[in-house]
Structure 1
Amino acid sequence: MHRLFAELEPFITVTEQNLADRVQYILRSNIFDVAELERLRREAVPSSGENARAEDAAPQLAEQTANVDAAVNNPVVVDSNDDGTITQELELEQMRSTLEEAILETRSTLLENRPRLPRITLNKRNRAVVRALNPMLVTYLEASRDLCETDSILFGAALAVCRIIGAKLSTAGRATGQSSAIPAWRIRIEERIAKARALISRLICFRSGNTRPRIVRTVRMAFAGTNVSLSRPDIMQKLTERIDDLKQRIAAWGKRIR
Structure 2
Amino acid sequence: MDLPVVVDSNDDEIVSHELEQMRIILDEAILETRSIPLENRPRLPRIPLSKRNRAVVRALNPMLVTYLEANRDLCETDSILFGAAVAVFRIIGANLPMAGRTTRQSSAIPAWRKRIEDIAKARALIGRLTSFRSGNYRPRIVRTVRMAFAGTNISLS
In which range does the TM-score fall when normalised by the shorter chain?
0.5 to 0.7
Question: Matches of residues 74-223 of structure 1 in structure 2 within 5 Å?
Answer: 91-171=18-98, 173=100, 186=107
Q: Could you tell me how far 1:186 is from its partner in structure 2?
A: 3.9
Change in Cα spacing, 1:183 to 1:138, as seen in structure 2 (3 Å) is closer
Higher relative contact order (CA 8 A, sep 6+): 2
Give the 3-state SS of the residue equivalent to 1:154 in structure 2: helix
SS of residue matched to 1:119: coil
- How many residues align? The count is 102
1:145 aligned counterpart, secondary structure: coil
C-alpha distance in 2 between matches for 1:163 and 1:131 = 15
8 Å contact from structure 1 (residues 118, 167) kept in 2: no
The AA in structure 2 aligned to 1:158 is: A
Greater share of helix: 1
Q: For the residues of structure 2 that align with 1:167 and 1:116, how far apart are their CA atoms?
A: 14
Residue 116 of structure 1: how far off its partner (Å):
1.5
Whether contact under 8 Å (2:68, 2:80) holds in the other structure is yes
| Cα distance change on mapping 1:185 and 1:95 into 2, 3 Å | same
- Say which one has the larger Rg: 1
TM-score where L is the length of structure 2 = 0.55
Are the aligned partners of 1:117 and 1:170 in contact in 2 as well (CA < 8 Å)? yes
Per the normalisation by structure 1, the TM-score is 0.35
Give the superposed CA RMSD.
3.1
- Cα distance change of structure 1 residues 187 and 142 upon mapping to structure 2, 3 Å threshold: closer
Alignment-derived partner of residue 203 in structure 1: none
DSSP-derived class of the 1:168 partner: coil
Q: Pick from 11, 20, 30 the counterpart of residue 30 of structure 1.
A: 11
Contiguous gaps of at least 5 residues in structure 2? 1-6, 111-157
For residues 154-207 of structure 1, the C-alpha deviation after alignment (integer angstroms, 9 at most, x for no partner) is 111111101111112111625xxxx6xx86884679xxxxxxxxxxxxxxxxxx
Instruction: Tell me, in whole angstroms, the C-alpha distance in 2 between the residues paired with 1:164 and 1:186.
Output: 38
Contact residue 95 and residue 164 of structure 1 kept, 8 A? yes
Alignment identity in percent? 70
Which residues of structure 1 form unaligned runs of 5+?
Answer: 1-25, 33-70, 76-90, 190-258
1:93 shift after superposition: 1.5
Matches within 5 A, 1:228-247: none
User: For residue 43 of structure 1, what is the aligned residue in structure 2?
Assistant: none
